[in-house]
Every structure is written in C-alpha cells, then in structure tokens.
Amino acid sequence: MINVLRDFFLGSIKIHILYHASVEPIYGAFLMEELASHGYDISPGTLYPTLKQLHKDELLEKYEEKVEGKIRKYYVITDKGRQVLKEGKQQVKELAEEILGKDWRNLSNE
C-alpha cells in the first residue's frame, strides 16, 4: 500500500477506535470484528500497538477485567480523546464534502 494511503488508513482506524470508545468500553477482539464489518483488513499486529499508542497519548484509559478466566484489557475514551474525536470528525466531514461534494451522503458507489 502506498504510504499516503497507509497513513490515511491508520488515521481512519484511530478515529474509528476513538468513536467506539466514546460509546462503550472496547477491547481488541471486539474492534477486530467491528473494523472488519466496515471493510478494514487490520491485523492484531497493527491494532494492539495502535491501542497502546492511543493510551500512551492519553486519548484512551485502560482497565482490566477477568472474563472467562482470562484478563481482558478494556479501553474508554478520555476528555482529551473526546476533543481529538470532535476535531477528527470535523476534518472527515470537510474532506468528504470537498472531495465528494456537499451531497456526499446521497452518492451511490461510483
């Protein structure tokens, strides 16, 4: 994949992760399924370092719970993460409108 597209792909995934973490606590296996349902082909080797970085950047908080005898790491969005998500959503909207036009939501798959 060309670096520009890879960077865009990873940025999109980060915004997607922040969105879901703003709705409910998330964990890796859930995100793998959720992202796959939107057409993202992401490996655990990409997802888990991304979660770790978002946590390090204080965009996500992490806590652990025992589920079926295993420790599961859950992530929830922080106030800083909410601000980044808000800005990211605005940038995505502006990009979609500029590239696809104001009526981008009504476009069919061309």
pLDDT in tens, 36-64: 998 888 899 999 999 999 999 999 999 99
- For residues 20 and 69, the answer to whether their CB atoms sit within 8 Å is no
Q: Tens digit of pLDDT for each residue in 83-98?
A: 999 999 999 888 888 8
CA dihedral 82, 83, 85, 91 (to 10 degrees): 160
Alpha carbon distance, N-terminus to C-terminus of the chain: 22
Q: For the chain, which residues make up each domain, given as ranges? A: 3-106
Average pLDDT value for residue range 76-87: 98
CATH number of 3-106: 1.10.10.10
DSSP label of 59: S
* pLDDT score at 8: 85
Q: Which stretches of 1-110 are DSSP H helices?
A: 3-23, 28-37, 44-56, 79-100
